[in-house]
Amino acid sequence: MINVEIDPRSGFCGGVIRAIDKAERYLENQPRLHSLGEMVHNEAELERLGAKGLISLRHEDMERLSPGEALLIRAHGEPPATYRKAAELGLDIIDCTCPVVLRLQESILSAYRQLDGKGTIVIFGKIGHAEVLGLVGQVGGDAVVVENTAQLKEHFEKGEIQAPVELFSQTTMNPEEYEDICNYLTSKGIALNVHNTICRQVAERHRMLADFAKGHDVIVFVSGSLSSNGRVLFELCRSANPRTYMVGSVRDIDGKWFKPSDSVGVCGATSTPKWLLEEVARHISTIS
């Protein structure tokens, strides 16, 4: 019989839990609520919330809302321009920016002011990611965003990174890759101030998830297809255990992945709901 274990540290991070709780409490008394962008990068959870009345809205569609309507800012955060636009439209903002992201935004703005036109803000993160757009917006776009050391090297060799450097990371990035970014800049001998901005909960999950993956014959990683954190953690699991498979729901599971004697670990991204992890685990346990 297949033995299935759910990683106890997988599932929503604190910021996502807080945002979804606010949305659900609002929808207890209102028929609908507009979220600026998808509340969470997980299709199954978005479907569940949509049934309750949550509607994802694009930035260019904000003007469709009437003055006084509520607009939810998700955990990823937004740039100042979004708040100004919402104020101009007379919208009632429900701000669910994750406290960790909010502190990061404030830290970047403070560092930028201290640079006073000298040096460079460098952000290690996914280009175009909602959180990163919010971070870059704090400094009016005057920052260099890199996804890896190769991109950093390219910017450096083009002379686009001037000392002193204030280095930040998107909250959900891989701590080991961030260390590589730090080491590259350190090797250049430039004045560097490194900010420890990867979420502690995320950093701990990285360290422990590899051990979880190694401790099972098969890993089933549950994540939405658009989750940046999901892709990072999936690759972490696969590097620790080659028999790692990513699924969005039970529909993606292939019984051929398993042997009757296998120990199977089920885990997921910070945007994966616990109920979905449990649903996947139950399905696997029925496979003979």
> Which amino acids are annotated catalytic?
131
Residue 126's alpha-carbon distances to 117, 133, 237, in angstroms, are 25, 9, 20
How is residue 165 written in tokens?
């450097």
Contacts of 250 (CB under 8 A, 6+ apart): 279, 280, 283
Cα distance between residue 276 and residue 237, in whole Å: 19
Contacts of residue 35, Cβ cutoff 8 Å, sequence gap at least 6: 23, 54, 55, 56, 57, 71, 72, 74
Distance between CA atoms of residues 145 and 139, nearest Å: 12
Question: Distance between CA atoms of 84 and 127, rounded to whole angstroms?
Answer: 23
- Provide CB contacts within 8 A for 263, sequence distance 6+: 2, 3, 5, 215, 216, 217, 218
Q: Residue 261 class from Cβ within 10 Å (0-12 exposed, 13-18 middle, 19+ buried)?
A: exposed
Check if the beta carbon of residue 213 is closer than 8 Å to that of residue 182: no
Instruction: List beta partners, residue 94.
Output: 72
**Tokens at 134, concatenated:** 């919010």
CA–CA gap between residue 43 and residue 235 (Å, rounded): 20
Q: What are the two backbone dihedrals, phi and then psi, of residue 205, each rounded to the nearest 5 degrees? A: -65, -40
